[in-house]
Structure 1
Amino acid sequence: MRWVTFDCFGTLVDWRHGITTSADLAFPGLGGRLLTHYLKHEVAVEEESPSMRYRDVLTESLRRSCADEGLDPGESVSVLADTIPHWPVYPEVGHELGALRAAGWRLALLTNCDRDLIAETLRRLPVPFDAVVTAEDVGGYKPAHGHFTRFREVHEPRVWVHVAQSYTHDIVPAHTLGLPRVWINRHGERPSDPSIVQETQPDLHDLVGTVARVSAA
């Protein structure tokens, strides 16, 4: 079996846009500032509480972000968990994932999310997935290796390429595990160790050729 695994939020779904616009619903005009705080707090919350449900990670991370701005979120503290199923899918996702399927690849998600939340998102993704591994399934969050280990044990992939936007959560563990990998560097980030980036591109366009190239390397 030939598989391509993806992270979902940030890779297929515009996670930053979703957080910003959702936070704007509760605090008009402050969504961008809250996003800046959120990006650091989510990593910390997941490290502190690896068994915490993702909807609670969203809530606690937003709570801490509001505290940084001196805001009281009140009942709006759950706005991210409430809106995540509606966050926008990147426009190239349907075509590029469809091309991978047509080329004979199976598709899977390795996501730092709960089963119920990813089920809602899967309804909006334009291409079906053959497998999903969630943080709830493995009792932890990437960059821990639980998602990757579970996927390998269950599906025994003959060829496996991992594609993701997060350098820290996905590219680093994929490198450690010896997986062919494609970094979707949507925000022009600089990796702390460029040597572990096997292939990089700014979005999913022409992904079929890139996946074929790294799988044969």
Structure 2
Amino acid sequence: MTRWATFDCFGTLVDWRHGIATGIELLFPGRGAELLEVYNRFEPQVQAEQPVRRYREVLAESLRRTAAEAGLDLVPDDASVLGTGLPYWPVFPDTRPALAALRAAGWRLALLTNCDRDLIGETQRRLVVPIDAVVTAEDVGSYKPGHAHFERFAESFGATAENWVHIAQSHFHDMVPARALGIPRVWINRHADPHDPAVADAVLPGLDGLVETVERVHAA
């Protein structure tokens, strides 16, 4: 039986917060950390308003709204800074070892990502470890926490609760819909978020020890 470990990418494998904050810093030095929290409020709103909007434009529109709320003058062409920089956002130090260990343990790897095909293609080269399948927001015409990513993956690869574990950092985007669909799941709570841990089958602070945790969740 093929066993699938699916991941959200940005925030779980790639340091999304660093990428957003650094992009903002390029335009507004000294404001990156502060404006990241403002940006975090706007991105889910923009995604929900127009689910078919490409992620590059989600990034740009969310940045426009962030700058407007902060009273900052954003040069129109500068709104593309986040999409331009995304392929260079850093991979977490524990990402490549964890992915390699899962492959060595016989798991196939997939990404279920709120991203465009071209952007995730650029990001995969930084992961280094081969990825067997990818489902993007561009593919399904919607963004998580909608269920379309999970449903498309299940339909395409015959994944069920018996051979599938989903691993992600976002409680809102990933853990909640995965539970609703009955998918076994591991919450990577990198930032000690105070959300209800009972939504997940297991919780880790990072990807260290992931193979053992995934095997335990799968066996249960």
Return the TM-score normalized by structure 1: 0.98
Q: SS at 1:39's partner residue?
A: helix
Deviates more, 1:132-141 or 1:65-74: 65-74
Query: 1:93, 1:126 within 8 Å by CA — same for their partners in 2?
Result: no
Determine the structure 2 residue equivalent to 1:127.
Answer: 129
Determine the structure 2 residue equivalent to 1:205.
Answer: 208
Cα distance between partner residues in 2 of 1:113 and 1:39: 16
Q: SS at 2:68's partner residue?
A: helix
| Unaligned segments of structure 2, at least 5 residues | none
Cα distance between partner residues in 2 of 1:77 and 1:47: 20
From 191, 194, 219, the equivalent of 1:190 is 194
From 144, 154, 159, the equivalent of 1:142 is 144
* Matched residues, number: 216
Query: 2:197, 2:203 within 8 Å by CA — same for their partners in 1?
Result: no
Determine the structure 1 residue equivalent to 2:183.
Answer: 179
Cα distance between partner residues in 2 of 1:123 and 1:200: 28
Identity of aligned pairs, percent? 61
Cα distance between partner residues in 2 of 1:132 and 1:21: 26
Q: SS at 1:124's partner residue?
A: helix
Determine the structure 1 residue equivalent to 2:59.
Answer: 58
Cα distance between partner residues in 1 of 2:152 and 2:200: 23
| Unaligned segments of structure 1, at least 5 residues | none
Return the TM-score normalized by structure 2: 0.96
Deviations 1:92-125 (A, max 9, x none): 1111110000000000000000001111111111
Residue type of the alignment partner of 1:73: L
From 157, 160, 168, the equivalent of 1:155 is 157
Cα deviation for residue 164 of structure 1 reads: 0.1
